[in-house]
Amino acid sequence: MGSDMLDQTDAQTTEGRTVEEFDLVVIGAGIAGLNALNTATEYLPNGAQVLLVDQKDAAGGMWNTAYDYVRLHQPHPMFTVGNMTWDWRKPRDYLAARDEVQSHLASALNPIGE
């Protein structure tokens, strides 16, 4: 393909679209995506442009749509973002319920954003 054809194709695919640049794009706001984002904040410079994309309206991954009776399969302190502590006083072996997990994961965005 000649360079004229390549230039024309590129112009057609970007025409009418706003193009933004980011230093990091994280796909998924579940436990893995939030931990990746948390770790990246240790390496990104202040003011870095980051985009977090998820198919759901809130952070929490599958916990946004899990049945209400679903609980963690491990003690709650082990299921977190970075070293963020849970916002409660429950026994260390407590298996958190869906809404508790979703709330904890959603609250992780504030400290990461700071």
Please report which confidence band the pLDDT of residue 110 belongs to, taking 50, 70 and 90 as the band edges: confident
**Strand (E) or helix (H) holding 27:** strand 24-27
Q: Which letter, b or e, does each residue of 27-51 get, where b requires 16 or more Cβ atoms within 10 Å of its Cβ?
A: ebbbbebbbebbeebeeeeeeeeee
110-to-13, 22, 68, 91, 103 alpha-carbon distances in Å: 35, 20, 25, 25, 12
Name the 3-class secondary structure at 88.
coil
* 3-25 residue pLDDT tens: 444 444 444 456 777 788 999 99
Which of the four pLDDT bands, split at 50, 70 and 90, describes residue 1? Answer: very low
The model's pTM: 0.78
Give me the pLDDT at residue 19, please: 80
pLDDT given at position 10: 45
Question: Homologous superfamily of 3-113 in CATH?
Answer: FAD/NAD(P)-binding domain (3.50.50.60)
pLDDT tens digits for 37-51? Answer: 999 999 999 999 999
